Amino acid sequence: MTDQPDRLFAKPLNPVPDFAFNQDVARVFNDMIRRSVPGYLLLVEQIGLLAARFAKPNSLLYDLGCSLGAVTFELRKIKASGARVIAVDNSAAMLERCRANLAFTAKDHPLLPVELVQADILQLKWQPASVVVINFTLQFIPPDQRLSLLQRIRQNLMPGGVLILSEKLRFTDESTEQLLTELHLDFKRKGGYSELEIAQKRDALENVMQPDSLQTHQQRLLQAGFSQVHPWFQCLNFGSILSVA
Ligand SMILES: Nc1ncnc2c1ncn2[C@@H]1O[C@H](C[S@+](CC[C@H]([NH3+])C(=O)[O-])CC(=O)[O-])[C@@H](O)[C@H]1O
Ligand SMILES: O=C(O)C(=O)Cc1ccccc1
């Protein structure tokens, strides 16, 4: 994986442009996500283990909003004969680097075949799947499209299939929101981000990324038709939910 340090917001920007998954972001994304999402590496590793329990032979495993392919790579390690991984992202810059990463990491031990698809996940042509992972991507989908996307995912999951959804969380209780946001800022400061970098990235994300509360996610997943909805991971204001079809 390329590991250029993220200095994208280090110099004063006036105005701060909306956050976009362009070449500049793709180049530093590996560093950015590790220093921005507490628990990211543990989460990705654990997703591989969770997914392995639900993956069925001869089925599809989707990684929606695959970025540089961290989750895709974990899915490819699963032993499920005849299964295939479909990794989807609408950013050409991300997919190009994802392709290079996956080629580089393809060692001798067998990995599941992968197809990289450049597409909007709202426009995807679905095929029946046993595993769908959407790791920190639903928060970039317009809120009024989220339920119908989850319904489509639910409809294309085989019985007993799993959806793993990770998101930044907001909290309706003001003091919880304040405390966890402060702790997240402490995590960023400890990772070497300056106050300017933190403030400018927050401004860049403001119109682009809209997190929901854990309760909103749980209710929406039930409404989409999932029979079991289990929050299984939370680190500060980042969490993940496993839902069974
Ligand atoms: N409508 C869309 N259709 C397809 N892709 C999209 C769409 N909107 C955004 N994306 C893509 O979703 C990804 C979100 S990052 C995922 C991290 C990864 N899952 C990881 O586990 O490392 C999360 C973050 O940056 O916080 C980006 O690559 C976008 O191009
Ligand atoms: O940086 C943040 O505040 C985040 O919420 C996480 C994030 C990580 C990578 C790209 C966009 C958002």
Q: What is the pLDDT of residues 145-170, one digit of tens each?
A: 999 999 999 999 999 999 999 999 99
67 lines ligand 1 (CB under 6 A): yes
**What spacing in Å lies between the alpha carbon of 121 and ligand 1's midpoint?**
10
Instruction: Give the closest residue (by CA) to ligand 2 atom 6.
Output: 36
3-state helix, strand and coil shares in percent for the chain, rounded to the nearest 5: 45, 20, 35
On the question of pLDDT at 87 being above 80, the answer is yes
On the question of pLDDT at 202 being above 70, the answer is yes
- Which pairs with CB-CB distance under 8 Å and at least 24 residues apart come from 23-30? 23/93, 25/93, 26/67, 26/68, 26/91, 26/93, 26/94, 26/96, 26/97, 27/2, 27/97, 28/4, 29/67, 29/68, 29/94, 29/97, 30/1, 30/2, 30/3, 30/4, 30/68
**What spacing in Å lies between the alpha carbon of 187 and ligand 2's midpoint?**
12
> Which residues are 1's β-sheet partners?
none
Determine which helix (DSSP H) or strand (DSSP E) holds 74, and give its type and residue range. Answer: helix 70-76
**What spacing in Å lies between the alpha carbon of 210 and ligand 1's midpoint?**
13
- Examine residue 13 and state whether it is found in any structural domain, yes or no: no
- Examine residue 5 and state whether it is found in any structural domain, yes or no: no
- Tens-place pLDDT, residues 41-52: 999 999 999 999
Answer yes or no: is 240 a known binding residue. no
Provide the residue range defining the domain that includes 72.
Answer: 23-244
- Examine residue 4 and state whether it is found in any structural domain, yes or no: no
76 lines ligand 2 (CB under 6 A): no
Could you say which ligand is closest to the alpha carbon of residue 122?
Answer: 1
**What spacing in Å lies between the alpha carbon of 28 and ligand 1's midpoint?**
14
**Domain containing residue 187: CATH number:** 3.40.50.150
Lowest mean pLDDT among 78-87, 90-99, 108-117, 170-179: 108-117
Instruction: Determine the average pLDDT of the residues in 124-135.
Output: 97
On the question of pLDDT at 88 being above 80, the answer is yes
Identify the band that residue 105 occupies on the pLDDT scale cut at 50, 70 and 90.
Answer: low
Q: SS3 of 64, please?
A: strand
140 lines ligand 1 (CB under 6 A): yes
On the question of pLDDT at 137 being above 90, the answer is yes
Instruction: Give the closest residue (by CA) to ligand 2 atom 4.
Output: 36
- Examine residue 146 and state whether it is found in any structural domain, yes or no: yes
- Examine residue 16 and state whether it is found in any structural domain, yes or no: no
- Examine residue 3 and state whether it is found in any structural domain, yes or no: no
Could you say which ligand is closest to the alpha carbon of residue 201?
Answer: 2
Q: Report the nearest atom of ligand 1 relative to the CA of 121.
A: 3
The model's pTM: 0.98
**What spacing in Å lies between the alpha carbon of 43 and ligand 1's midpoint?**
16
- Examine residue 33 and state whether it is found in any structural domain, yes or no: yes
- Examine residue 202 and state whether it is found in any structural domain, yes or no: yes
The predicted structure's pLDDT at residue 104: 74
Number of separate domains in the chain: 1
